[in-house]
Structure 1
Amino acid sequence: MPVRPSGRAAAAAVALVVAAAAAGAVLWWTLGRDDPDRDCAGLRRDDRIRTVLGGTWRSGLPCGELAEGLRRAAVGAGPGSHTPDGARALRAVLLAAATGPDHRVHPALRRPLAEALADYAADTHAVLTGIDDSYLAHDAPDADVWQDGRGVHVAVPKDRLVAVVRGLSEDPAAYAVLRAADLRQGAAGLGALPSGASGAALTDAVVRSASPAGVFDGIADDALRGRDAAARGVWRADALGGLAPNGDVPPFGTDPAGHLAEGWLQRGAGAPDGIAALRDQAAGLVALWAEAVRADTGRIGLPALQDRARTTTDRERVGVKEQLKQDAG
């Protein structure tokens, strides 16, 4: 007759099994989390990505080739030359990348995808503003791209775009590429205003500039969260290095957007604490616009417009930080 183990022996055996299982789980998590190909492999296996790459897809496609293939599919013939197929490719990439856990994007993918996304800055700027009806009508996961007199457009849900930009922004240089592209869009909106602009047209341009700026502020805050002091310093320095002004500010009359964007970068990114100074981006652009067109900003007044810009920016910054914390939780 088999010997039945004592209660104490049985409990010890169970504890040993539990401990072994826990150790195995910890080992799997540690090795899996540090697997250099993990995030790349997850994206590569996504059916949407396979569709985008078509005949160039293969199961062992290296991360660098995957990144270049996706960038090429989205950008196509060259920067600014968007086609419906290219916009659909970008949309598929965004929706696939947005499903990654903890906003992870493989390091080899960050810069190429950021460059592709920056080429669609007019679209991403509108999505991050969140008030353009045409984009809201086309942002559902099963929606399609569309075309009008201004060209081809693409939209995705705002929270998914934020998640992807956060993943790309783990690389501060990628963050700088995306923020610089969005900055020019905000500057272009203000630069297109007539010198006598006032009322709703003026406040609308301010909000459209300030909302995405606040999103990028929140993403920067989240990218810095959890890093030690040295790592935060490196991320800030690299991000600001990517946002450094080119040196020359073009005349407002020939390049309104460039005048405002470059002018602001000289004042903002060049400040002693450039990341903190960036939070005043929209308010700074409004002041530069008023100065360039010698506008008195009508009955609203420049201080009130700047307050509106700062309030909008801060609201978006706080909201995005909360979203990203919840996503990570």
Structure 2
Amino acid sequence: MAFASAASAANTVGDTSKDVEVAELPGDSISDLAFSPTNDHLAVASWDKKVYIYEVGASGAQGKWSFEMGGPVLGCAWSADGTRVAGASTDRSVHIVDLRQAPGGGNCQTTQVAQHDDAVKSVRWFTLNGADYIATGSWDKTVKFWDLRSPTPAGQINASERVYSMDVKNDLLVVGTAERHIHVVDLKEPTKIYKTIQSPLKWQTRVVSCFTDATGFAVGSIEGRCAIQYVEDKDTALNFSFKCHRQQDPANRDVAKVYSVNAISFHPQHGTFSTAGSDGTFHFWDKDAKHRLKGYPEAGGSITATGFNHTGNIFAYAVSYDWSKGYAFNNPQQPIKLKLHPIAPEECKPRPGGKKR
């Protein structure tokens, strides 16, 4: 499936000249980032064992708080009210910090809220019966659900394989595992798997991301492809996949370099979405019109994490080593950047006439 706009079309080339580079950076690769759902605070998880929380303003981002864990931090997430941040680590634990108890900034004391038998890859908050819960996905092949008022899990799902990516929107939980399994869960009944499918993409899953309206999700893989999948069987005719993050060899038009799709983020208002990859580029797409809205110049290294702020007028992206070549290739020459892209009014809007989802 091809998207409608040609990659060479001049009107789809985006401008990054106004992007702001954050000066205070983690000491190692950035594994995840997340904006607060209530204000312009940005949490950034790093392989240096820390989570950094920035205040984002017109002039850029200033480091405000941080907390450290016992191993590299692979995931981070905000509570719905924007007061707490969770970090998921290779030390098999999840810790949270309550920013209401650290108003002045600086290093924060954390509370451990979850424990697994292997590294925790993903963490997400959700609400059940008016109470806050955390879902944690681990390489121990489980997803556990934690009531923050109790030290033991409120329930768990046994996944088909190691959890590589996980996302939540409203009552929808999507879990992407090794061996291309995808579990779909209705969080009104969190310990039951609603549906399990094989990824429509032929190679390893890197990321899953829920639609803004929670009717489906996008999947990105190591082979430079993205799939759009709806939850309900009645919508399967709307499912499709497309190529992205590939570069044609100028010397041989039959050969393309293929790059991993590392991050997918949905715009909170428009329902359009971004993909970003190890080719160092990001793109904005309209899934309903099957149209690429904008593609942006190479950022100087692999893009490992992305996110829109709650109003959808800032897009954050992290440039750092993506570990695709293992420990030996992570050296001081690998760039680490955190950049903020201001969204122009028309940049992420769906094409006229297309339905919003």
TM interval, short-chain normalised: under 0.3
Between structures 1 and 2, the one with greater helix share: 1
Between structures 1 and 2, the one with greater strand share: 2
Q: Which has the higher contact order (CA 8 A, sep 6+)?
A: 1
TM (normalized to structure 1)? 0.26
